[in-house]
Amino acid sequence: MLTADYQRLDRDHHLHPFTDFKALGKEGSRIITHAEGVYIHDSEGNRILDGMAGLWCVNLGYGRRELVDAATHQLQALPYYNNFFKTTHPPAVKLAEALCRLAPAHLNRVFFTGSGSEANDTVLRMVRRYWALKGKPDKQWIIARENAYHGSTVAGLSLGGMAPMHEQGGPLVPGITHVRQPYWFGEGRLGEGRDPSPEAFGRLCADAIEAKILALGEENVAAFIAEPVQGAGGAIIPPESYWPAVKEVLAKYDILLVVDEVICGFGRLGEWFGSVHYDLEPDLMPIAKGLSSGYLPIGGVLVGDRVADTLIEEGGEFFHGFTYSGHPVCAAVALANLELMQSEGIVERVRDDLGPYLAERWASLADHPLVGEARSLGLIGALELVADKTTGARFAKSLGAGNLCRDLCFAQGLVMRSVGDTMIISPPLVITREQIDDLVRLARQALDETA
């Protein structure tokens, strides 16, 4: 089929996620046909550097024979069976063991799901069930963060703090509230009469959590949920003061900590989990994406001993699960993915070599007239586009500078994402230094054209 045929059929029949269908009808989609390493290819013969690892997930890059072989082998041996009631199968068991071995020591159980959204649905239910079993049924409120993304199911979008999603979501799950995000460039740097330093702002954001707990009544608050680095919200790397202060607040009022590792997990920040980088001890840890490098859909929740012991010892049957919880083929691919990451030392390479290298190269973009801040940690990075470099004033929203930059980038052979006027990268963890150079060159080219 020709590109135009695909585009016509796509327009006529295919409802894309997070897409303005009408605009898509006018523009037509780019048809991605195949990929290898860090590159995707389109139907017109163009090669594009995937600076987003798909959707923050293809951590091992494209075309890994070992993952294809793991899937093929498992499809032949046992393409499907479930883990309900009293059955299980080798891939689910082996993956559960491997995950618990890699995770922080107190996380010794995992509940599998098909996606990150389902993982966060599971979190919501486990958290509330835990407190009910503890004889504190009023502990129901969950504190999340503005502008956070935790998925697209009703529970996921309710936990998330994205206003446009809330507006379209109908009645949200009750008992969820949001506090400010530790977004220093966007909300902290001007100070507004306060100390404008990142450190002071980090503490201010932790104080906002404490204020919310006190307003709700500590006896009513179940958990706080956040990503180590907020991904889809704009690659928001918190000030160093933020997490230690948050930990203190949660411990003071006995609030569970849920760390959403759907993006930060599996090497993105240069450790197996973002929780390790920030020295967090999550009670629950939703995972997905990089778990299988996106080759097949799988997610889960790693559950800390405190919650797991209560659910198991006192909970009886937990009426929750998905047909594809721990799907054998997805689990086999995820296991092969983890094994490859270990044998190739991927996480250590991000921590010791690629992360520092990207930090240096990415920071070189800070001299561009359009860039107000260039930040990165491990292999996640962001550029803040500004209209005036000296004052840091932003562009008018109606100009759509971020989307323009994203489109110019894509046309020139690099996938970057835009969140408003924040440009984001999150490349595969197998990217080389030379490919990072190329990524930075293409990003600068797109900035020049946007200017």
Applying CB under 6 A, the residues found at the interface with ligand PLP are: 115-117, 120, 149-151, 227, 231-232, 260, 262-263, 288, 299
- C-beta closer to ligand PLP: residue 229 or 447: 229
- C-beta closer to ligand PLP: residue 291 or 371: 291
- C-beta closer to ligand PLP: residue 160 or 372: 160
The first and second tokens of residue 96, run together, are 């559960």
- C-alpha torsion sign, points 176, 243, 215, 224: positive
- C-beta closer to ligand PLP: residue 265 or 372: 265
C-alpha–C-alpha distance, residues 57 and 71, integer Å: 17
Q: How far is the CB of 428 from ligand PLP (least distance, A)?
A: 16
CA neighbours closer than 13 Å in the CB half-sphere of residue 76:
5
- C-beta closer to ligand PLP: residue 225 or 442: 225
C-alpha–C-alpha distance, residues 322 and 276, integer Å: 29
- C-beta closer to ligand PLP: residue 139 or 417: 417
C-alpha–C-alpha distance, residues 340 and 64, integer Å: 10
- C-beta closer to ligand PLP: residue 202 or 265: 265
C-alpha–C-alpha distance, residues 365 and 371, integer Å: 7
Q: Which amino acid is at 80?
A: Y
- C-beta closer to ligand PLP: residue 227 or 373: 227
Q: How far is the CB of 229 from ligand PLP (least distance, A)?
A: 10
- C-beta closer to ligand PLP: residue 117 or 241: 117
Answer for the pair 408, 449: CB distance below 8 angstroms, yes or no: yes
Nearest to 420, CA basis, from 164, 208, 58? 164
Answer for the pair 258, 224: CB distance below 8 angstroms, yes or no: yes
Q: How far is the CB of 320 from ligand PLP (least distance, A)?
A: 16
**For residue 88, which phi and psi values (nearest 5 degrees)?**
-155, -175
Q: How far is the CB of 391 from ligand PLP (least distance, A)?
A: 32
Longest dimension (CA), the chain: 65
Q: How far is the CB of 144 from ligand PLP (least distance, A)?
A: 11
C-alpha–C-alpha distance, residues 107 and 303, integer Å: 5
Q: Is 35 helix (H, G, I), strand (E, B) or coil?
A: strand
C-alpha–C-alpha distance, residues 287 and 299, integer Å: 5
C-alpha–C-alpha distance, residues 61 and 149, integer Å: 24
* Position of minimal CB gap to ligand PLP: 116
In the chain, the N- to C-terminal Cα span, in Å, equals: 38
Q: How far is the CB of 213 from ligand PLP (least distance, A)?
A: 23
Q: Which amino acid is at 416?
A: M
Q: How far is the CB of 194 from ligand PLP (least distance, A)?
A: 29
Inter-helix orientation angle 328-343/65-77, to 10° = 150
- C-beta closer to ligand PLP: residue 151 or 282: 151
Answer for the pair 130, 307: CB distance below 8 angstroms, yes or no: yes
Q: How far is the CB of 151 from ligand PLP (least distance, A)?
A: 4
Q: How far is the CB of 398 from ligand PLP (least distance, A)?
A: 27
Q: How far is the CB of 169 from ligand PLP (least distance, A)?
A: 15
Helix residue spans in 134-228 (DSSP H): 154-159, 163-168, 198-216
